[in-house]
Structure 1
Amino acid sequence: MAVRGMAEISQNGIFRLTSNKSYGIGQAFYNMPFSFKNSTGKDVLSFSTTFAFAIVKDMDIPNLHGHGMAFVIAPSRGLPHALPAQYLGIFNASNIGDPSNHVLAIELDTLQTPEFADINDNHVGIDINSLASNISAPAGYFSDSSGEFRNLDLASGERMLVWVDYDGLRKQINVTLSPIEVSKPRRPLLSFDVDLSSVILDTMYVGFCSANGLLIGTHYVLGWSFQLNGEAQALDVSRLPLVPQNQKQKQGKRISKKLITGLAAIAIVFLMVVVSGITFMVRRRKKPEEVLEDWEVQFGPHRFMYKALFIATKGFSNTQLLGRGGFGRVYKGELPSSKTQVAVKRVSHESSQGMKEFIAEIATIGRLRHPNLVRLLGYSRCKGELLLVYDFMPNASLDKFIFSKAKQTLNWSQRFKIIKDIATGLAYLHEEWVQVIYHRDIKASNVLLDSEFNGKLGDFGLARLSSHGMDPNTTHLAGTLGYIAPELARTGKATKATDVFAFGAFMLEVACGRRPVETKMLPEKVILVDWASECWRNGEILTLADPKLRNDYELEEMELVLKLGLLCSHSRSDARPSMSQVTKYLGGNASLPDDLDVISLVQEHNEVQSDGVMAPGFELDNHSKPSVTITEPFFSTGR
């Protein structure tokens, strides 16, 4: 988090935005921006956040409140020209109401300011570029059981929960408030129809602001989660910290020293007995121990307790097993605190330094938010195990439908939609995020399907990052045979073009209903790209279409996918299109060249031979040969 002014983050994770000082501000923003717009750059994606807060008023003036606090979406990581008091550390006298602010704030206001037409000194408001709320309501909530409105005192010092949900399709924002012990009410406190496309920029920062004036208060954020294109992860209220006690409240609750001394002595004796018993039990039961090293502290928000994942997966029971991959097994789980369904992947690890770098990658990739990317929620470590936690996808992976011998398959419109979904997600990784991300393992088994069969690219275990315009710092060859570009086999160096090659192979396998390498096929059909090139030269490209489709497909779409798959799988990296170009082709916003022969689609070298070794022309000497990671066995019978 980036903090300014009085804001600070305590060791137990509490954000204290302000302290008992007059005329000060506090700002705490998440370090990295979020991409709020869809691929067209026009519509704002849906987003959701939930946070727990507490406002402790000054006990010297118990009947008067200081100023409040707000959840803020802003174009910069902090608002340097903001003023205290009624401006809440968000605006100043000259910029308030200016549309160029591009600021959305959900205010929890505890002082009535006539300047902004506040309804009272205890209200919640939705503010756009100003503190004159677009809509506001007295603080409180609607009971699910009776439907009646129940008031809440924002500055009572009690812990409360706030939910902010924006529906990008309906163009509606809802704000809900409740006490800490009450689940999210079904009826929101505020509901406001608004199109945020003119307010929210492509990338924005999220965080909190607060301020004190002459009257003071202390503002805390006790827990927080945020999510683009989905519901924010529920907070486990049982694990939320208590509100630090007001010092003046402590002074008003003095207990005699004799009583304290007596209770302390009893407590010490009792504690010694309990500790001895616990130590004995731990030694006997020898439960798995958490692994937490100093360097992992910075990745804390991405870490899950091993015990929680053990319970979620019923002890990694075979009944919860979803599948096996090159790096481990994947289990279905339900987090005990939030009841959220997740997929948990167990990976073995040994190298401490390598694990440090890997978890750093996880912390970065965990910030990705895109509707066509499987969300990596975090990780857990315990002795020799690494656990990766992902969103659960009800319809599993695409290969189960494409290659299954069962009658169930996907129709062409579903397949074509999934291809476009993955192209959009990959374009985001390559060109739209703050860093370039090379996935390095694009294939049907790493494309997961949600309940509505939307395609999401998953398994970022091999992904690598670099800055835009920079080369990735790796010579480790990784991927799956059949998807590895020729230049990647020579150098081990991942690029955007090597991802595009794999995406080309992916398009061909989805359209043809077979894997890129099938060792049991006739020699001329073993390598799908070579066979497709031959069919193209002979004018028989449509004969490649998956027989399971029974010719039920759009001819133009099928031909587009097959030709584009060949273009992306070109043996020369400079002949392959970028992923933004691919999305234009698939979306009908650009046309492929009429004569693809000018691009020389004939593959000059086979990537692999049928026995899985590199073909002639790709021999490497001992000095240039990269290290190799193959994520799945080289068999045509399954992955």
Structure 2
Amino acid sequence: MTLLLLFLLLLFFPKNVVSDPTGGEFNFNGFLYAAGSAHLKSNGLFRLTNTTAETAGQVFYNYPLRFKDSPNGTVFSFSTTFIFAIASHYGADNGHGLAFVLCPTRGLSDVDPTQYLGLFNSSNMGDPSNHIVAVELDTVQTAEFHDIDANHVGIDINSVISEIASSAGYFNDDGTFVDLFLSSGDPMQVWIEYDGKQKQLNVTLHPLDVYKPKIPLLSLQKDLSPYLLECMYVGFSSSTGIRTASHYILGWTFKMNGTAPDIDTSHLPEVPRFDQPRDQSVKGILATSLSVSGITILIVLILGLWLFLKRKKLLEVLEDWEVQFGPHRFAYKDLHTATKGFKETELLGKGGFGKVFKGILPVSNIEIAVKMVSHDSRQGMREFIAEIATIGRLRHPNLVRLLGYCRCKGELYLVYDCMPKGSLDKFLYRQQNGKLDWSERFKIIKDVASGLCYLHQQWVQVIIHRDIKPANILLDGSMNAKLGDFGLAKLCDHGIDPQTSYVAGNNLCFCLVVLKKRVFSLTNVVTWKVR
């Protein structure tokens, strides 16, 4: 009788809710499933891809995990950490990267082994029925996916066009940013943590010789409940395309409703390295090199000396604030090309700070906005540094993203994402065609409130903008509002009064301006202090 009951239980119990033997917590054990080019080695190292071009590899935990208590429930909190390494092959460009992925199935079929990271193909990219959430470590800049560079981390939902992305690196406790090169071959650790109550997904990256930073690299405020099913598989995916690199996972832990255990780095497997192949014609090349005339060698030496002196001159003009706050410095010639020589036809607007030009970056074809600030003005210089020190470290969907900066011949330039709809004041004062309906007005207020809430309560320090006005509210192509111009911003620690004693900027009552002075109860919509 007992055997019969057990048989019936196994026959009718749904397969997609098979009990996980580890109870939602595992520590890089043997319950793993490999597909494609992935290979699990006996020393504890598993490889997702190898030197083969246009291949995809996947490794998943063998059992589904329960992320909700019901199909329509909310996603539980979860935490995972893993150590990875991407080893480049000599003579080949890096490609394409790897991703930590949550998906409904144990493995992904019919995927494109190129820039889609083994997650999607051209027909199902962006399909809501995918129910895929991933964190990508991308080593190739793909213009069609709006990649910010060829060395970035992004959060993806049903598509490899990231919801939010940042160049690879980490923040020190003092807020300074340190770049990391994903394809260096050095092991690095990633933390991915979702707070089910706050509906916030944080991603942190750091080298093994650095403790987990307090400030996450990425922070996305988004409820994952509409995108994740009740039971999901967790694992990794990678692809090479025509470029090759080997993608390794050295350690991995996961925990549902808690913090994943840290990984013991003292027993990690060694990452294979790829030595430079020996050229069989070395003797011939050496003989040819030695036969070069003395005049040619002299020209090369003079050219090298000139380049050295030029580089030294550039390094000498770096000021202390640039070393601390300026990791992303654009070349002036790129900005000059992007804005067609800063022509008046590319002018988006101008004010007390200077002029703003529209541009398209060469090669990547990314649309940008370039704000020109006078270097000779003490106020302009102060606002320039304030923008880099504040917005340069912020990541929020309702804050204008600062891409970088440039200095050249007494001029200062700040480079932002381009906002196609322009500033809000053009809509309010009928400078733009079309009118804002009431739903759009309230949406704009809520977007600004979300950005201010992040500045006041959710970032590592309190940032007081001090210049809220329609001209500083920018609208993207979908009419989402983003707060910009942090030139007058002030920072202070949480729980400390900044002790400001004067009014700065034009702190208008933004809600009443958007609603055109109609009387509404907006206390719960947005509040801020006038500093």
TM superposition score normalised by structure 1: 0.43
1:230-260 alpha-carbon deviations (Å, 9 max, x no partner): 9xxxxxxxxxxxxxxx998358458767953
337 and 374 in structure 1: CA distance in 2 versus 1, 3 angstrom threshold: same
Measure, in 1, the Cα distance between the counterparts of 2:398 and 2:420: 15
Amino acid at match of 2:476: D
Matched, 1:172 2:132: yes
Measure, in 1, the Cα distance between the counterparts of 2:110 and 2:289: 41
- Cα contact 2:133–2:157 (8 A) shared by 1: yes
355 and 255 in structure 1: CA distance in 2 versus 1, 3 angstrom threshold: farther
**Structure 2 residue corresponding to 1:559, chosen from 516, 519, 527:** 519
Unaligned runs of 5+ in 1: 1-62, 71-87, 89-95, 111-122, 151-164, 212-224, 231-245, 484-501, 513-543, 545-557, 565-576, 586-606, 608-625, 627-639
Which runs of structure 2 are paired with 1:62-141 in the superposition (5 Å)? Answer: 67=45, 102-103=79-80, 126=100, 135-136=106-107, 141=112
- Cα contact 1:103–1:200 (8 A) shared by 2: no
What displacement does 1:439 show? 0.6
Measure, in 1, the Cα distance between the counterparts of 2:111 and 2:298: 45
Amino acid at match of 2:435: T
SS of 1:479's partner is coil
Counting matched residue pairs gives 358
What displacement does 1:142 show? 3.8
Measure, in 1, the Cα distance between the counterparts of 2:399 and 2:194: 23
Matched, 1:445 2:471: yes
- Cα contact 1:124–1:139 (8 A) shared by 2: no
What displacement does 1:478 show? 2.7
Which runs of structure 2 are paired with 1:105-254 in the superposition (5 Å)? Answer: 126=100, 135-136=106-107, 141-142=112-113, 172-173=132-133, 198=196, 202=200, 204-207=202-205, 249-250=275-276, 252-253=278-279
Measure, in 2, the Cα distance between the counterparts of 1:416 and 1:260: 72
Amino acid at match of 1:173: V
- Cα contact 1:108–1:124 (8 A) shared by 2: no
Q: Which residue of 1 aligns with 2:412?
A: 386
Q: Which residue of 2 aligns with 1:429?
A: 455
Q: Which residue of 1 aligns with 2:333?
A: 307
- Cα contact 1:436–1:466 (8 A) shared by 2: yes
1:97-119 alpha-carbon deviations (Å, 9 max, x no partner): 99976126697899xxxxxxxxx
What displacement does 1:201 show? 6.7
Whose helix fraction is larger, Structure 1's or Structure 2's?
1
What displacement does 1:333 show? 0.8
Amino acid at match of 2:79: H
Q: Percent identity?
A: 42
Cα RMSD for the two superposed structures:
5.9
SS of 2:422's partner is coil
Measure, in 2, the Cα distance between the counterparts of 1:207 and 1:349: 35
Measure, in 1, the Cα distance between the counterparts of 2:136 and 2:101: 15
What displacement does 1:400 show? 0.8
- Cα contact 2:346–2:357 (8 A) shared by 1: yes
- Cα contact 2:202–2:219 (8 A) shared by 1: no
Matched, 1:366 2:392: yes
Higher relative contact order (CA 8 A, sep 6+): 2
What displacement does 1:348 show? 0.8
**Structure 2 residue corresponding to 1:463, chosen from 481, 489, 495:** 489
- Cα contact 1:126–1:135 (8 A) shared by 2: no
Whose strand fraction is larger, Structure 1's or Structure 2's?
2
1:192-231 alpha-carbon deviations (Å, 9 max, x no partner): 89x96649974634226789xxxxxxxxxxxxx978589x
Measure, in 2, the Cα distance between the counterparts of 1:279 and 1:107: 40
Matched, 1:454 2:480: yes
Which runs of structure 2 are paired with 1:328-343 in the superposition (5 Å)? Answer: 328-343=354-369
Which runs of structure 2 are paired with 1:378-417 in the superposition (5 Å)? Answer: 378-404=404-430, 408-417=434-443
TM superposition score normalised by structure 2: 0.51
